[in-house]
Structure 1
Amino acid sequence: MVHSAYDAVELVADVPGHIEAVASHAGKLLVAVSDTVGFLWGSDCSLRIYSAPSPSDGGGEIRWDGPYALERQEPRFWRRPPLAMEVSASRDLLISLSEWIALHRLPGLETVAVVSSKTKGANVFAWDERRGFLAVGRQKRLTVFRLDSGREFVEVKEFGVPDILKSMAWCGDNICLGIRREYMIINSMTGALTEVFSSGRIAPPLVVPLLTGELILGKV
């Protein structure tokens, strides 16, 4: 017997280009899109903001009562396709990773800060909303930053890891890492590593945080 854990609902259709990353803020969808044709001639990576079909009740949650409509588009928001982006709801900030980590104020999208020195060439990041900590994976290094005064990231720690990070998420004071074909837990203060289990032979390790504080780990 096959059990379906989730129901699929289409919120946006016919997006022009390739969807690179998705986030939400105040009940709206933020979609990072790269134009595959434009990419050949000088990348066109835009941010498209979609709103619900009817006025929000103020809850700020994604709703399922119909397709979302394009409200705003910011062309050439990134020079390269973003690898990831996430919203800090309590601080009204958009955190994105393209060439490096960048901060933009929501909803106006004003640039707050660019962290180029230690995040250029990074491939993954994880945001701790409660404490304002950002973990960034670059090559075989894991760097932890703290958001200071809501305007800049200050480096707190840096650790070496066994290989390039595929995915990661905060779990309390620790960070769950997806490395090679296995999961590990690293203490964000000491750098002590603990092996968890293998992710399997088919798919790369995938760590997905839930609002409950729990994590979903892929194993195929």
Structure 2
Amino acid sequence: MHTAYLSEVAVEELPMTIECLEAHGDTILAGTKDGTLVVVGRDPEGDSANSFGQWHLLDAHKLFAKRPILQLKAFHGAAKAENGGGGADSSATLVHLASLTDEGVCFHVLQAGTASEFTLAETVWKTRGAHMFAWQEEHSMLAVAVKRRLLLFHWDGQRCTELKDMGLPDTVKTMTWCGDAICIGMRKEYSIVDTRTGAITDLCPTGYVQHPAVVSLSTGELLVNKDGV
């Protein structure tokens, strides 16, 4: 019998409630209800016979956020360091982390020479009250759902620039980027939002599902949860 997935316990008995998870390379980031960022990594000295490797707790940042961490996204971005000629060294990359609490989206940068120390780079105050975001790494674009609005930003590695503020017919329950467009799932409908014009095109009804879900595939196709399928 084919087994599609194998499970392994990474960390047991954490003294806090996990609200969200993000995987980045061999590191797992966990956002908790009390605002702690938990960082779990593989042990390079672990048992090589174990295909999962040995996991251990790298760090727990208790002052990472003042509110529950609702969503995390780690990605690589260009470093804004200056080279010897006075220009930006675009060849260097840093690990960036976007986090969401009910106070909004924050961007953090991994400190040089560390494996788990993040420095706050910017808080995007207009996203206060947001309940989810979607990140497009190709063009460093951030889409944020705030009630019945969809906000678009561009992140240059140091600051966020607002590009659009669009009204929606209902609250977003799920969303993902699909090229330059965004597929959103609301209570009754999946729709495509054109980020250039703001036009909204209905895709299909959600059916009787209580929690719409959409996933963007590398082929450019979309998978949606409709009528429980």
| Deviation, structure 1 residue 175 | 0.2
Deviation at 1:204, TM superposition (A): 1.6
Corresponding residue for residue 62 of structure 2: 75
- TM-score scaled by structure 1? 0.82
Return the alpha-carbon distance in structure 2 between the equivalents of residues 24 and 174 of structure 1.
24
Deviation at residue 85 of structure 1 after TM alignment: 1.1
- Matched residue of 1:156: which SS? strand
- Out of 91, 94, 97, the position equivalent to 1:94 is 97
For structure 2, list consecutive stretches of 5 or more residues without a partner in the other structure. 78-93, 111-115
Q: Deviations over 1:166-192 (max 9, x none)?
A: 111110110000111321100001011
| CA distance in structure 1 between the aligned counterparts of 2:8 and 2:66, rounded to whole angstroms | 28
Structure 1 CA distance, aligned partners of 2:139 and 2:16? 35
Deviation at 1:14, TM superposition (A): 2.8
Instruction: Extract structure 1 runs of 4+ deviating beyond 6 A.
Output: none
Pairs aligned (count) = 201
- Offset of residue 80 of structure 1: 1.2
Q: In percent, how many aligned pairs have the same letter?
A: 34
Q: Which amino acid in the other structure matches residue 70 of structure 2?
A: L
Tell me the equivalent position of 1:154: 161
- Distance change (3 Å), C-alpha of 1:210 and 1:50: farther
Q: Could you say what the CA RMSD is over the residues aligned between the two structures, in angstroms?
A: 2.4
User: 5+ residue gaps in structure 1?
Assistant: 35-43, 57-62
Residues 105-125 of structure 1: CA distance to partner in whole angstroms, max 9, x if unpaired? 124201111111x10001111
Q: How does 1:157-168 map to 2 (within 5 A)?
A: 157-168=164-175
Q: Distance in 2 between matches of 1:208 and 1:199?
A: 14
In the other structure, the counterpart of 2:81 is: none
Matched, 1:52 2:50: no
SS at match of 2:63: strand
Question: Over alpha carbons, which structure has the higher Rg?
Answer: 2
Q: TM-score, normalised by structure 2?
A: 0.79
